[in-house]
Amino acid sequence: MRSESARAAATVLVVEDEVALSDVVQAYLVKAGYATGSARSGPEAVEVARALSPDVIILDLGLPGLDGLEVMRRIRAFSDCYVLITTARSEEVDRLVGLSVGADDYLTKPFSVRELVARVQAVLRRPRGEPGTAPSGMVRAFGELEIDTAAQEVRLAGQPVPLTPTERGLLMTLARRPGQVFSRHQLMEAVWGDTWIGDDHLVDVHIANLRRKLDETAGSARYVTTVRGIGYRMGKG
């Protein structure tokens, strides 16, 4: 199901089985100028995400039919849209697992709908390149890793690397200044924006996901290296 605002700048899919909450969230999003779609169950969420191609998905983890984490895994097979998870589960492990399978941010219920809309606005302010728009000379090579900062494309040993927008943003930020060591706070400002308020250890979770996709670990990092006590920088490959 989909509703639209005439001045909608982006489409947000709200996946929430609580009808009243879903309706309130969509009303706030439409007022903020977004088009919205909705889904009430896990299987429906995957189907609607494929048909709607949203820019952002607000995904509740406690869904009927299919767990929210599995929904996210399936959506990540065909979409790199931003995903904000919401959950009534307060344990840190649930948030970390959600981030590890591709979420960009999270909110724990009960949450402020205004804050949720602010988070949507924040992720959509992150720069995203369009494939095939890179001018010549913008490809940076770090061993077998090639990073096209203009086209926002990443290849490892000649093969495309599927990254989430947050993972891509972190890698592009590091690659643009390969000699610089970035603190967590600097990376948060560059990727999440200077108005984002939250735990800067989110950076560590996304860096770990990025390293896994680049076929490296913290102990054998060739591309994203840790500078103890400070933060991260690009390795030489």
Same domain for 156 and 93: no
pLDDT attached to residue 130 = 41
Sorted by sequence, the CB contacts under 8 Å of residue 93 that are 6+ apart come out as none
Q: Which residue has the tokens 């992150």?
A: 126
pTM: 0.66
Using CA of residue 200, residue 204, residue 209, residue 210, what is the dihedral sign? positive
Here the CATH number for the domain that contains residue 23 is: 3.40.50.2300
**212: number of Cβ within 10 Å:** 12
How far apart, in Å, do the first and last CA atoms of the chain sit?
46
In a domain, 84, yes or no: yes
153 or 4: whose pLDDT is higher? 153
pLDDT attached to residue 90 = 59
Same domain for 149 and 107: no
In a domain, 130, yes or no: no
Q: What is the CB-side half-sphere exposure of residue 174 using CA atoms within 13 A?
A: 28
- pLDDT, mean of residues 206-229: 88
Same domain for 113 and 84: yes
pLDDT attached to residue 96 = 61
Same domain for 208 and 112: no
Residue where a domain stops, chosen among 95, 125, 155: 125
Q: Is 69 helix (H, G, I), strand (E, B) or coil?
A: helix
In a domain, 4, yes or no: no
Using CA of residue 35, residue 171, residue 153, residue 215, what is the dihedral sign? negative
Same domain for 115 and 38: yes
In a domain, 132, yes or no: no
Beta strands 11-15 and 56-60 are: parallel
Same domain for 114 and 71: yes
Same domain for 119 and 34: yes
Same domain for 144 and 117: no
pLDDT in tens, 121-144: 888 876 554 433 334 447 889 989
- Give the domain extent around 79: 11-125
In a domain, 3, yes or no: no
Residue 97: band (very low, low, confident or very high) from pLDDT cuts 50, 70, 90: low
Torsion of CA 22, 24, 29, 33, to 10 degrees: 130
Here the CATH number for the domain that contains residue 201 is: 1.10.10.10
Same domain for 228 and 150: yes
- State the total domains in the chain: 2
